[in-house]
A and B are shown apart, each in its own frame.
Chain A
Amino acid sequence: MTSVALDSNEVRAEDSRTPVGPRLDKARMSWTSIPLLSPAFILLAVLFIGPVVFSIYLGFTNLQLVGPHSLYYQVTGTENLSRLVHDTTFRQSIVLTLVFVLGSAVIGATVLGFVLALAMQSSLALIRGLVGVIVLVAFMFPPIVVSLCWIAATRPGGIFATLTGSSGGLLLTQPLLVVSAANAWNLAGLAMLLFSAALRNIPGDILESAKMENASAFQRLMKITLPMLRPVFVTTMLLMTLLALANFTVVYIMTNGGPGTSTMIMPVYSYVQGFNYNELGYGALIGNVMVLLAALLSIVYVRVSRSSS
């Protein structure tokens, strides 16, 4: 395709009065794009957009996992919606999801990652190296292994249960706090990496000149480091929020949403409605609320990270 463009360019150079071939001042569409894009597009359409659209449809049906409505299901209009509005567990799960996301992603992982990255700037190389590796290994662990480590640590006799003086097991007394902490423990490594890179990019001479004007370490942090890191804070917080919203495994394996419904965050509630209570249609609707929420956050994330870079 482009060789044609080159040829026509030569022709035009010879006879500039009668331009031949397509205009070159505007980018043209290359037809080879289509075969190159089609594998990704077909896969995304069938296995990603497809399920999203199908889920919207299922959310308005009475589909069940077993029983007569598993084969012969139909659209029930706004029945699921009105059920959702009156569902006290769903209302509770919105609050729980907000607390979980705020606690584990915004406060937990983001602040922890920042504190780690900041402390590493002025620490001994040996301690920095060791703590860095430990925090990153915690980030690399598959979710089910994170759950196992935290189930053990918060059982009676486990290290965190012992440290907090809990004799009955923290998962029974502080379930939401424990799953949030486990998630923050898992995510903090990524936040630490992002903040370390950002801290390295703060020009040293600015901090140096502040030092020469006798600014205290606290002043330098508040007046220079934090304002300069503001965009990184926003993007990291949003990324952590997205990752925490998507979290199902750690919470489900540690608590199954319980005790009672005290850790029934939305992804877990969607699963429990679908596969434990057989209400696949209603579970899909709860899932749709999540997808909508995540998509909105994702758009905000893209907007913010574009405007800050």
Chain B
Amino acid sequence: MRSLTSSSATNRKGPGLTPVNDTGAPVGLQPVKQRRLAPGKVLSNALLIVLGFLFLAPLLWLLFSSVDSNAGPSLKWPHFTFSNYAAVANASTFTALENSTILAGIATIVATVPAVLAAYVFSRHHFPVKNGILLTIVVLAGVPINILVIPVFQAFSNYGLLNITATAFFLGVTSLPFEIWIIKTYIDAIPPDMEEAARLERANVMQTILRVIVPMTLPGIVAAAIFGFINAWGNFLVPFVLLSNPNEQPAPVVMYQFFGNAHVAWGSVAAYSVLYALPVLILYIAIARLFRGGFSMAGAIRG
């Protein structure tokens, strides 16, 4: 790619000029073709193919096994069937996925709404020891939350809080520091002109946040919210310890029961995994779309 975009001709011209080649035609119109395959390129491609296969093999196994009537630990072409999906498409699976959705949904709201408000203050307001508090929040984001499961278990059982709502609140709070950080960087990037305009029209702080800040940083807020959702959706240990009622257990905890059996039903557990992992993949694609779309902010301020 590099040889296409920057031929040696572009270097001889000063910056800011349209890149042209020796004949004066724009470079982009006459791509310089690589005549021979450089050994470095062969090496790169070969390396990528080998590494790509090592990364692909476990993924492919999961996909194949989920539609294989004779699934085992080995990677092989499946005897195609949907019976694995039919086997796990039952009430308990749907309850577990529903619980995961409730857990992750509550956690997302618990983390994102306070994070927007706090991020706004950290970005725009001044108060004593702001940087110290900000540093503390970043350090908190690095604390492994799985380690906190013992004190949280003890505290929750003392107060009779071993239920899905309290667990969701805890999972939400564990994403809160990182979400504040992400959203703050987005608000930092907004020029203050729009808020000043809102202020001149006597908008109060809440109106400014809801009508100006939130619409302008929506991609960042959605990205932070998706992070919070995925974080709660994927966590195994916290619901595993805190939720003992089978009607409240989310998908990963239910899925772990598949592992305990002496004879693992590989096909069913693979199908279950696909159902459980699919929402996460879709959400990541949504994040990627958001970032590719960029911001509509540039046009908001003219002159």
Q: Give the B-binding residues of A (Cβ under 8 A).
A: 2-3, 27-30, 32-33, 36-37, 39-41, 43-44, 46-52, 54-55, 58, 63, 112, 115-116, 118-125, 127-128, 130-131, 134-138, 140-145, 148-153, 155-162, 185, 188, 204-205, 207-209, 212, 217, 242, 245-246, 248-249, 252-253, 267, 270-271, 274-275, 280, 283-284, 287, 290-291, 294-295, 297-299, 301-302
Chain B minimum-CB-distance residue to A274: B150
The verdict on B219 contacting chain A, using a C-beta distance below 8 Å, is: no
Chain B minimum-CB-distance residue to A204: B6
Contacts of A144 in B (CB 8 A): 234, 236, 252, 255-256, 273, 276
Residue of A30, A52, A185 near B55 (CB, 8 A) is A185
A157-B72, A209-B11 known; A148 and B269 CB under 8 Å? yes
Q: Are B150 and A287 in contact (CB under 8 A)?
A: yes
Q: Are B58 and A123 in contact (CB under 8 A)?
A: no
Q: Are A155 and B73 in contact (CB under 8 A)?
A: yes
Contacts of A143 in B (CB 8 A): 234, 236
Residue of A32, A41, A116, A160 near B57 (CB, 8 A) is A160
A134-B55, A140-B284 known; A127 and B176 CB under 8 Å? no
Q: Are A51 and B152 in contact (CB under 8 A)?
A: yes
Q: Are A36 and B117 in contact (CB under 8 A)?
A: yes
The verdict on B202 contacting chain A, using a C-beta distance below 8 Å, is: yes
Contacts A36-B121, A134-B52 supplied; 6 other A-B pairs, CB < 8 Å: A43-B114, A47-B170, A48-B143, A131-B52, A252-B237, A302-B135
Contacts of B61 in A (CB 8 A): 149, 152-153, 158-159
Q: Which of B44-60 contact A (CB under 8 A)?
A: 44-45, 47-49, 51-52, 54-59
Q: Are B135 and A152 in contact (CB under 8 A)?
A: no
Which size class do B's interface residues fall under? 35 or more
Contacts of A246 in B (CB 8 A): 144-147
Contacts of B40 in A (CB 8 A): 122, 217
Q: Are B139 and A298 in contact (CB under 8 A)?
A: yes
Q: Of A158, A159, A245, which is in contact with the most chain B CB atoms at under 10 Å from its CB?
A: A159
Rounded to whole Å, the gap between the CB of A200 and the closest CB of chain B is 10
Contacts of B51 in A (CB 8 A): 112, 115-116, 119, 131, 135
Q: Give the A-binding residues of B (Cβ under 8 A).
A: 1-2, 5-6, 8, 11, 38, 40-41, 43-45, 47-49, 51-52, 54-59, 61-62, 65, 72-75, 110, 113-115, 117-118, 120-121, 125-128, 135, 137-155, 169-170, 172-174, 176-177, 180, 199, 202, 205, 209, 233-237, 241, 252, 255-256, 259, 266, 269-270, 273, 276-277, 280-281, 284
Q: Are B176 and A43 in contact (CB under 8 A)?
A: yes
Contacts of B266 in A (CB 8 A): 152
Residue of A123, A138, A142, A287 near B276 (CB, 8 A) is A142
Rounded to whole Å, the gap between the CB of B267 and the closest CB of chain A is 11
The docked-state distance in angstroms from the alpha carbon of A97 to that of B199 is: 53
A158-B75, A242-B142 known; A50 and B57 CB under 8 Å? no
Q: Are A44 and B173 in contact (CB under 8 A)?
A: yes
Rounded to whole Å, the gap between the CB of B209 and the closest CB of chain A is 8
Q: Are A156 and B121 in contact (CB under 8 A)?
A: no
Q: Are B8 and A138 in contact (CB under 8 A)?
A: no
The docked-state distance in angstroms from the alpha carbon of A3 to that of B149 is: 47
Q: Of B58, B269, B277, B280, which is in contact with the most chain A CB atoms at under 10 Å from its CB?
A: B58
Q: Are A287 and B169 in contact (CB under 8 A)?
A: no
Residue of A55, A125, A302 near B138 (CB, 8 A) is A302
Residue of B2, B120, B150 near A280 (CB, 8 A) is B150
A-B contacts, 9 of them at CB < 8 A, read: A36-B209, A40-B180, A43-B172, A127-B52, A140-B281, A142-B280, A143-B234, A242-B144, A246-B145
Q: Are B148 and A123 in contact (CB under 8 A)?
A: no
Rounded to whole Å, the gap between the CB of B116 and the closest CB of chain A is 9
Contacts of B5 in A (CB 8 A): 204
Q: Are B143 and A253 in contact (CB under 8 A)?
A: no
Contacts of B241 in A (CB 8 A): 275
The docked-state distance in angstroms from the alpha carbon of A3 to that of B169 is: 37
Q: Of B41, B150, B237, which is in contact with the most chain A CB atoms at under 10 Å from its CB?
A: B150
Contacts of A161 in B (CB 8 A): 73
Contacts of B140 in A (CB 8 A): 44, 48-49
Residue of B65, B141, B234 near A142 (CB, 8 A) is B234
Q: Are A32 and B144 in contact (CB under 8 A)?
A: no
Contacts of A54 in B (CB 8 A): 151, 154-155
A122-B40, A270-B147 known; A40 and B276 CB under 8 Å? no
Chain A minimum-CB-distance residue to B155: A54
